[in-house]
Structure 1
Amino acid sequence: MHVGQDRWQDLTAPELASRMGPETVAVMVLGAVEQHGPHLPLSTDLDIGLGLLTEARRHLPADFPLLVMPPLALGSSEEHGGFPGTLLGFYGERLAQLLQEAASLPWDARPAPGPRD
């Protein structure tokens, strides 16, 4: 699988289903969107995560069964809540519950039956 052809959101449902298997690794970058002072963009944490993923991918074999899920911008730093642009809403147990639920999903990528199926 070539870089750029492994982004979950760029695939059709049948393409995704064909790439899912017991060896497939799905990865999702999580990063806060919050203030980092007047000199850095709000996306700093998310950008760092995306950069780490880009670098990690360079070290994988070309045929590694990787699927890159869309990044998720989470905020759990209440101390940044008073700054413009900070996205909040996932704190402590709520964030842990979200991640636990995501990890426990069956991840069956087969397309759901449509109205004509």
Structure 2
Amino acid sequence: MPIEINGATYETDEEGYLVNLAEWNEDLANIIAKTENVDMTPNHWEVVNFLRDYYNEYQIAPAVRVLTKAIGKQLGPDKGNSKYLYELFPYGPAKQACKIAGLPKPTGCV
């Protein structure tokens, strides 16, 4: 279902993931977050930006286990745990955060 912002149309797949990753921007992320019932805070943006950097480096969206470990390494153990990430993204940290970050669905996510 396409998303429209200020006259621009962004294509998404049947699950709401952005089709063209290069079209991602923060306005679009905020719209997607609203549809996911997520109120973006600096902590949410920290995870979203982390995911975008991770994707740029490895060309893959990490599954939740890999995401948790990688965040723990870079941002510290208080943020690198499932409890913290599920508080931010209750429908699945990897799946939901990747959607907001304009990334493909992580491998291993159903």
TM-score band by shorter chain is under 0.3
Which one has the bigger helix percentage? 2
Higher relative contact order (CA 8 A, sep 6+): 1
TM-score, length-normalised on structure 1?
0.24
Larger Rg, first or second structure (1 or 2): 1
* TM-score of the aligned structures, taking structure 2 as reference length: 0.25
